[in-house]
Amino acid sequence: MDYRPLGRTGVQVSQICLGTMMFGGKTDKPDSIRMIDYSLGEGVNFIDTADVYAGNESERIVGDALASDGKRQNVILATKFNFPQGEDINAKGLSRRHIIEACDASLKRLKTDWIDLYQMHRCNADVPIDESLRALDDLIRAGKVRYIGGSMFSGWKLVESLWVAKELGLNRLVSEQPAYHLLDRTVEREVIPASQSFGLAVIPWGPLCGGLLTGKYNRDQGSKDGRWQGGKDNFNREATERAWDVLDVLRDLAKEKSCSMSQLALAWLCAQPGVTAPIIGPRTYEQVEDNLGCVGVELSQEDFDRIDELVPPRAAVVRYYDEAAAVDFRPNQHRNLI
């Protein structure tokens, strides 16, 4: 396991981040804790969760798993906020009110005094970024949060947040968490260059395209309990004919490398310029074993060139990033002022 700087900070994180979206939902608590313990034993020191995962249960499980044997001290713990937390109209979003309340609630569930990386789980056009950054800065000054980041921020939104932080003398974002994988390289257009220019860590989520890059799906059939059915996933994202052609070649390449398709896709992503640590999201113990095995996969320049021919830089054969991004611009909002 290699370790890399978390953006411009002095913190070192493992090249693979353990994502916990499945914990407390499709993965029960005993298996979740077992997977966390295994990952820590394999050198992972970076864990990502969110208050919205499994109705808060993911955070509770992570908190319980790290509460014993001094594990919390050795883990860089990240969580996220934004999505609704109940029926209260104000229990969501990036307002000062919600940020402070969400942080206190996450701290209790995680059984910790501090969150290493607190991330805005999508940007929000309804709230000026200065309000959000001021609240997050207050949390840092209070010792509840160490660093802050974003998720699915466009390139211009990242630059706006950095500019506002500089103008107001606030703590800046240190990371961005975009959707990024071998079948959709959209973030290479602006998000990756912006992150590299301003020293932001890039922590990709969905590195296996919701399971499409695991090799368990074929053009005409796949796992009955998987996300992709009839060529579409549970968010209605579509696998194009070109995508299936790419998967056929990747399957052959994985055989040549004596690794799984998952390991091939993760190894490729780990090696991309600007990437800090892809977030794996295992559902089973076997999946976390397989995913962490990617650190032993070596790719040659010939391998990278071969993949670039299949999916060129900045291209996409599955529209994943665009479909996952929250709507942040409403052209009719101020039409009466034009």
Write down the mean pLDDT value for the chain.
93
| Residue 33 to residue 23: CA distance in whole angstroms | 9
| Residue 178 to residue 324: CA distance in whole angstroms | 9
Position 336 pLDDT exceeds 60: no
Identity of residue 253: L
| Nearest residue to 312 via CA among 178, 183, 180, 179 | 183
Kindly tell me the sign of the dihedral angle through the C-alpha atoms of 159, 161, 167, 172.
negative
Question: Quick one: 261 and 151 in the same domain?
Answer: no
Dump pLDDT digits (tens) for 240-292: 899 999 999 999 999 999 999 999 999 999 999 999 999 999 999 999 999 99
Rounded to an integer, the average pLDDT of 94-101 is: 98
Residue 195 lies inside a defined structural domain of this protein? no
Q: Indicate which residues carry an active-site annotation.
A: 53
Rounded to an integer, the average pLDDT of 290-296 is: 98
Rounded to an integer, the average pLDDT of 78-96 is: 95
Rounded to an integer, the average pLDDT of 58-75 is: 96
Dump pLDDT digits (tens) for 217-236: 887 665 566 777 777 777 77
Question: Quick one: 156 and 239 in the same domain?
Answer: no
Question: Quick one: 125 and 256 in the same domain?
Answer: no
Contact between 304 and 198 under an 8 Å Cβ cutoff? The reply is no
Dump pLDDT digits (tens) for 140-174: 999 999 999 999 999 999 999 999 999 999 999 99
Contact between 216 and 226 under an 8 Å Cβ cutoff? The reply is yes
Dump pLDDT digits (tens) for 243-257: 999 999 999 999 999
Contact between 179 and 324 under an 8 Å Cβ cutoff? The reply is yes
Rounded to an integer, the average pLDDT of 300-323 is: 95
Band the pLDDT of 30: cuts 50, 70, 90. very high
Q: Please give the DSSP secondary-structure letter assigned to residue 83.
A: S
The encoded tokens of residue 208 equal 């296996």
Is the model more confident about 335 or about 180?
180
Position 327 pLDDT exceeds 50: no
Pairing relation of β-strands 201-202 and 279-280? unpaired
Is the model more confident about 51 or about 235?
51
Residue 80 lies inside a defined structural domain of this protein? yes
228, 234, 238, 242 alpha-carbon torsion, rounded to 10°: -30
| Residue 193 to residue 312: CA distance in whole angstroms | 16
Residue 196 lies inside a defined structural domain of this protein? no
Question: Quick one: 25 and 166 in the same domain?
Answer: yes
Band the pLDDT of 211: cuts 50, 70, 90. very high
Q: What is the CATH number of the domain that holds 151?
A: 3.20.20.100
| Residue 310 to residue 302: CA distance in whole angstroms | 13
**What is the extent of the structural domain holding 136?**
1-177
Contact between 13 and 2 under an 8 Å Cβ cutoff? The reply is no
Task: Give the per-residue pLDDT at 221.
Answer: 61
| Nearest residue to 320 via CA among 236, 263, 264 | 236
What is the pTM (predicted TM-score) of this model?
A: 0.93
Question: Quick one: 217 and 170 in the same domain?
Answer: no
Percent of the chain topping pLDDT 90? 84
Residue 186 lies inside a defined structural domain of this protein? no
Give the SS3 label for residue 225.
coil
Task: Give the per-residue pLDDT at 328.
Answer: 45
Residue 62 lies inside a defined structural domain of this protein? yes
What is the number of domains present in the chain? Answer: 2
User: Which of 185-189, 217-221, 332-336 is predicted least confidently?
Assistant: 332-336
How far lies 120's CA from each of 33, 230, 303, in Å?
26, 33, 35
Residue 337 lies inside a defined structural domain of this protein? no
Band the pLDDT of 331: cuts 50, 70, 90. very low
Helix, strand, coil percent content, the chain, rounded in steps of 5: 45, 15, 40
Question: Quick one: 8 and 154 in the same domain?
Answer: yes
Question: Quick one: 151 and 229 in the same domain?
Answer: no
Indicate the residue among 129, 153, 177 that finishes a domain: 177
